[in-house]
Amino acid sequence: MHCELCGKPLTPDTAFLARIEGVQLTVCPACATHGEIIRQPQPARKQQRSEKPRPAQPLPRKEIVEEIVHDYAERIRKALQQDGRKLDEIAKSLSMKASTLQAYEQGRRTPSLDDARRLEHAFRITLIEKIEVTHEPVSERRSTASTSTLTLGDMVTIKRRKK
Ligand SMILES: [Zn+2]
């Protein structure tokens, strides 16, 4: 791409579309000042758009989350061994199904918070840990679909500097 007036090489950053002496030409910035600018270089405009001030971001939210410890099976197994009773009896005393308790003990199923609390109470063990979770606000990504369409208001007229 070259300036149609002076022949200087042009990049998309420097190519103006200007009306000079009634003719539409792709010109360099220097030559553009001789006429009426119809379109400014495109990429430069896009950059300006992304710098537009954004609405205030929400602050990070903090939340306490209760979670079952990762080694719950081991803790339950130990507790059951120390108890010495049969699994059926223990399950019954906890108003829990024996199969459910077994699944917990074998790590096949993560205890519900309700069940975990009952087990904690019965065996004086810890199965629930409290975790502080910080929610970082995700910055919204604007789609690049919005093309920079020039309106009449975007047009810039440069005063002729002819003497
Ligand atoms: Zn030129």
Over the stretch 84-108, which tens digit does the pLDDT of each residue have? 999 999 999 999 999 999 999 999 9
CA of 121 to the centre of ligand 1 (A): 84
Ligand 1 centroid–CA 102 distance in Å is 83
154 or 23, which is more confident: 23
From ligand 1's centre to the CA of 163, what distance in Å?
A: 19
Show Cβ contacts of residue 159 under 8 Å, excluding neighbours closer than 6 positions.
none
Residue 34 lies in a domain: yes
Tell how far the Cα of 153 is from the centroid of ligand 1, in angstroms.
Answer: 25
Q: What is the mean pLDDT of residues 136-155?
A: 52
Its pTM stands at 0.47
Specify whether the CB–CB gap between 127 and 75 falls below 8 A: yes
Residue type at 98 in one-letter notation: A
What local confidence, expressed as pLDDT, does residue 103 receive? 97
H runs (alpha helix) in the chain: 29-32, 42-50, 72-83, 87-93, 98-105, 113-123
DSSP-assigned beta bridge partners for residue 65: 131
CA of 10 relative to ligand 1 center, distance in Å:
9
Q: What is the DSSP letter of 137?
A: P
Domain contains 157: yes
Residue 143: predicted pLDDT: 47
Distance from Cα 141 to the centre of ligand 1, integer Å: 38
Residue 48 pLDDT: 53
Q: Per-residue DSSP letters for 48-81?
A: HHHTSPPPPPPPPEEEEEEEE-TTHHHHHHHHHH
Smallest CA-to-CA distance from 79 within 129, 123, 122 is with 123
Please check whether residue 45 lies inside any domain of the structure: yes
Q: How far is the CA of 149 from the centre of ligand 1 (A)?
A: 25
Decide if 63 is inside a domain.
Answer: no
The confidence band for 61, taking pLDDT boundaries of 50, 70 and 90, is confident
The residues that bridge with 48 in the sheet, in sequence order, are none
Are 73 and 42 in the same domain? no
Same domain, 81 and 123: yes
Average pLDDT over residues 30-57: 75
Mean pLDDT across the stretch 18-37?
94
Span from the CA of 142 to the centroid of ligand 1 (angstroms)? 36
Pair 28, 75 in one domain: no
On the question of pLDDT at 145 being above 80, the answer is: no
Number of domains the chain is built from: 2
Q: Which structural domain, as residue segments, surrounds residue 24? A: 1-49+149-163
Look up the CATH number of the domain holding residue 101: 1.10.260.40
- Structural domain contains residue 141: no
Specify whether the CB–CB gap between 138 and 61 falls below 8 A.
Answer: no
